[in-house]
Structure 1
């Protein structure tokens, strides 16, 4: 065996181990799924209600992330905002913050006695914790950084000369952003939205801490899986399979936009 072949083996072995580490849990889930009892397990309880709530809240959270995250990414990538490094670090904090801590932080700010939540409750009668909008808030908090990081990376890779050419032709900042910048970074936006949606769909810690686990109101699929794991492990496996199928379907639908140029 040549030296080059040995170096390839040194890369193949950990690569295959890593592949197995990622794939085997999915294989184990499929192998342990009670296929015969699957329809009955999925029909029982509030499974479909939890799935519907998960899809709705994850989609709304992704919408919030798009509305707030794309301008924020543009601010970080295209302007000389003061203390930009500090701002970027603060934006990415939810990526490394334990989800339960994120939920507690949201309670301290948006709870009825929180810094902002108390004012919302007194002035407008708006209460977010332990409500469906509270689920959207928790999911948006943990999902937003994924979109910001993805879009900012796409903006930094985009050629700024196209924007400069549009400005030379008389386009204002909004027109440049709408007709030049957004089409250029569209694949990055799609990738960020997919990541944000998947993160929101799978969120557990911040949701259960800030919004609770009330069937039909705040019980999303991850919370339902956790509850069933203690009461009926077979039902938990069935619900986990549903989440797996939904996630794979989303990735397959976005493949052409997400992995453009990847073969």
Structure 2
């Protein structure tokens, strides 16, 4: 936010002090050495040969499965898959639901990370464990848990069906709920870690000048953790886009409604392995393009802040 805009929103007596806050934030981000003008450029020393060798092995390990898939894929089927109505419908459903899941993860996950990082209360570790446990649970277990809680015959789902005539199963909302359940913890963990490392003095100074907690968070704290926030959102979207186990267990496998691209690939693997490989290439291509684009456009911009 520009300094001129802040001058209009904060009390008149705090304008000079607010300018000092921004000056101190700039100095904290770009420390200066005595006798040197301008920000100091951080230099990273090259890792030793052993580290580079181990890193090379790790890269090869990650590349081998994709090389095998690309080698065996019947490329004549790839164009057919892109032109297939069922494949396009599954891709469009996956994109819509994963974007919605990422947005919901931001809306609820950022406040959750804020509370966990800055508030001390009894049972905080238990709350954190319950909120992050879906990261390590098998997705099928998460789907079963959702089914018996929010399903049509579940503990809470039957009330929704009786009172409002609404059910999550066999609907796109069920897909979104399953994706949020497995994806939000990635955003919460990333943002909470960044908030713990952020300097709280700037937000406290803004509060002392009359800013509300939400205003201080939006204008002071959030910009300082922009890279972590964007990275967590991207991770949440990627996890939601590739979700399979919880979705098929909770929302079902209904073509055009709950059959995402991951489920479409699994179904094709049983009857047409060539089509399944082509769909896998489609998923890899979409994920790769989106992640690279977001990395260059947003994460890179956040690192240059």
- TM-score range with shorter-chain normalisation? over 0.9
Query: Is it true that 1:231 corresponds to 2:257 in the alignment?
Result: no
Query: Is it true that 1:162 corresponds to 2:202 in the alignment?
Result: yes
Contact 2:91/2:261, CA 8 A, preserved across alignment:
yes
Contact 2:78/2:279, CA 8 A, preserved across alignment:
no
So what's the TM-score if we normalise by structure 2? 0.80
Equivalence for 1:29:
69
Equivalence for 1:68:
108
The 5-angstrom pairing of residues 1-263 of structure 1 reads 8=48, 10-44=50-84, 46-256=86-296, 257-258=298-299, 261=303
Shift of 1:32: 2.1
Count of matched residue pairs? 256
Q: Aligned partners of 1:177 and 1:123: how far apart in 2? A: 38
Q: Aligned partners of 2:120 and 2:210: how far apart in 1? A: 22
User: Runs of 5+ in structure 2 lacking a partner?
Assistant: 1-46
Shift of 1:12: 4.2
Q: Deviation per CA, 1:191-219, whole angstroms, max 9, x where unpaired?
A: 00100000000000000000111110000
So what's the TM-score if we normalise by structure 1? 0.92
Shift of 1:87: 1.1
Shift of 1:261: 4.4
Equivalence for 1:3:
none
Q: Aligned partners of 2:99 and 2:254: how far apart in 1? A: 20
Give the secondary-structure state (helix, strand or coil) at the position aligned to 1:112: coil
Shift of 1:15: 2.9
Contact 1:70/1:147, CA 8 A, preserved across alignment:
yes
Shift of 1:45: 5.3
Contact 1:74/1:152, CA 8 A, preserved across alignment:
yes
Q: Deviation per CA, 1:140-194, whole angstroms, max 9, x where unpaired?
A: 1000100100111111121111101101111111211222122222211110010
Contact 1:99/1:204, CA 8 A, preserved across alignment:
yes
Q: Aligned partners of 2:48 and 2:225: how far apart in 1? A: 36
Cα distance change of structure 1 residues 115 and 32 upon mapping to structure 2, 3 Å threshold: same
User: Runs of 5+ in structure 1 lacking a partner?
Assistant: 1-6
Whose Rg is larger? 2
Contact 2:143/2:247, CA 8 A, preserved across alignment:
yes
Shift of 1:13: 4.0
After superposition, the CA RMSD in angstroms is 1.7
Contact 2:113/2:191, CA 8 A, preserved across alignment:
yes
Contact 1:42/1:235, CA 8 A, preserved across alignment:
no
